[in-house]
Structure 1
Amino acid sequence: MDSARGGRRGREKRQGRKQDRDVQLSKSHVLCSASWRPAAGFQMGTDGFLFVEDLLANPQFNSYTLEDVERVVATNDKQRFKLRSNPENGRLEIRANQGHSIQVSDLELIPVLAGSPDCPVEAVHGTYLRNWPSIQQHGLSRMNRTHIHLAPGLPGEDGVISGMRKNCDLAVFIDVPMALADGIKFFRSENSVLLTAGNTEGKLLPKYFVRALRLRPTRSVLPLQ
């Protein structure tokens, strides 16, 4: 009995270590932000793809294997990453579907068009209550990213797999058609996250806010003014 229990604990411990490694890989700065650069030893194409063998050859990732990368891509609950064979040479490549901190010109984003059947009435940006005073006054900012991220709904709702962190305690709802009418462009990524660069200053102004919702400890609507 003790031997069986010890074996089970050993397997659970090894499984836990594997899960920890997978989380570390999926949340690494390079993969999560897709910010690989020549200065860091990475050569990224204009479409955001990086050769997996180049990634694994980097000292930051040389403890991982191709199997680790494939598992993280396949099991990531937010479908953040995409693997493909390079169409010219067949070499395996990886790309983050969103979260870029440098410009990626060929990311295969789908434009959201006003009046189209798939144009959402509203979209949600997840953030934190500590940021609300600034957001309430100045609007949402893309900060050092190329886009502001918006989800089609709140986490857990039907079809919502990505677009905000699970620990966000504030949701700001955006009037997408109104922003489109003002010339602000929106795009949909491969994992259904809505992306916008905002206005010329990289912002979505408060006039586009439909409502603000505190998510925890209990849900409550916050005044917009």
Structure 2
Amino acid sequence: MLSEKENTKLSKLLSYILRHKPEEYGIELGENGYTNVDELITKLNAHNENISFEILQHIVDTNNKKRFAFNEDLTKIRASQGHSVDVELGYTEQQPPEILYHGTVEKFLIAIMKDGLQKMKRHHVHLSADKTIATKVAERRGKPIILEIKAAEMFAAGYTFYHSDNGVWLTDHVPVEFIES
């Protein structure tokens, strides 16, 4: 259906639109970050992207990070997490596993060990229950450093965690005392 290159290009474009700049394509994100599928396809085609529902569904189904999700009747789509725009995803608080992982690189380590993990321009800090996934995330920026997060201790201390549709654990901040490098 799509070459890997085309799939990656469109996936990145969807991330850009659904997570960061919906207004650039005239898209509005509604309840829980969803937008109308037909409207999204129309707006993308108006920007010469040549996309159909079948192509959109293929991108959603084959994205290895499960970045996108349809609603139950496939009429709406959203990014699962990672937004820099104001959107409430509707996730409910969940108890995390004992340890979670965060992948980073050396240039950020001093700041992290001083101030903890900050959400920066995103809605949440992203954590993984899988060390391999945390490593892959960090590898995009250089030599990976994997931090262990004492998530169960954080939760017991009153910190809130959410678990996204694609398996990413989300929290607002990870204080230094819960981080082991």
**Which TM-score tier does this pair reach, normalised by the shorter chain?**
0.7 to 0.9
Which residue, 11, 18, 36 being the options, matches 1:26? 11
Report the 3-state secondary structure (helix = DSSP H, G, I; strand = E; otherwise coil) of the residue aligned with 2:9.
helix
Matched, 1:165 2:150: no
Q: Is 1:188 equivalent to 2:158 in the alignment?
A: no
Larger-gyration structure (1/2): 1
List alignment gaps of at least 5 residues for structure 1. 1-14, 114-118, 199-203, 213-225
How much is the aligned-residue C-alpha RMSD, in angstroms?
2.6
Matched, 1:66 2:43: no
Cα distance in 2 for residues equivalent to 1:110 and 1:83: 18
The answer to whether residue 126 in structure 2 is matched with residue 149 in structure 1 is yes
Task: Tell me the number of residue pairs that the alignment of Structure 1 and Structure 2 aligns.
Answer: 176
Structure 1 window deviating more from structure 2 (44-53 vs 28-37): it is 28-37
Q: Aligned to 1:103, which of 48, 64, 86?
A: 86
Asked if the contact 1:55/1:61 (under 8 Å) is kept, the reply is no
Q: Distance in 1 between matches of 2:14 and 2:66?
A: 17
Q: 1:33 to 1:56 in 2, by over 3 A?
A: closer
Contact 1:35 1:101 in 2 (8 A): yes
Q: 1:139 to 1:60 in 2, by over 3 A?
A: farther
Distance 2:115 2:162 in 1: 23
1:54-95: CA deviation from partner (whole Å, max 9, x where unpaired): 222224463222221111111111211112356xxxx72111
Distance between the aligned counterparts of 1:137 and 1:179, measured in 2?
17
Bigger relative contact order, structure 1 or 2 (CA pairs below 8 A, ≥6 apart): 2
| Identity in percent | 26
* Distance of 2:145 and 2:178 partners within structure 1: 16
TM-score under structure 1 normalisation? 0.69
CA shift, 1:103, in A, is 3.0
Letter in 2 for 1:191: N
| CA spacing shift, 1:124–1:102, aligned 2, 3 Å | same
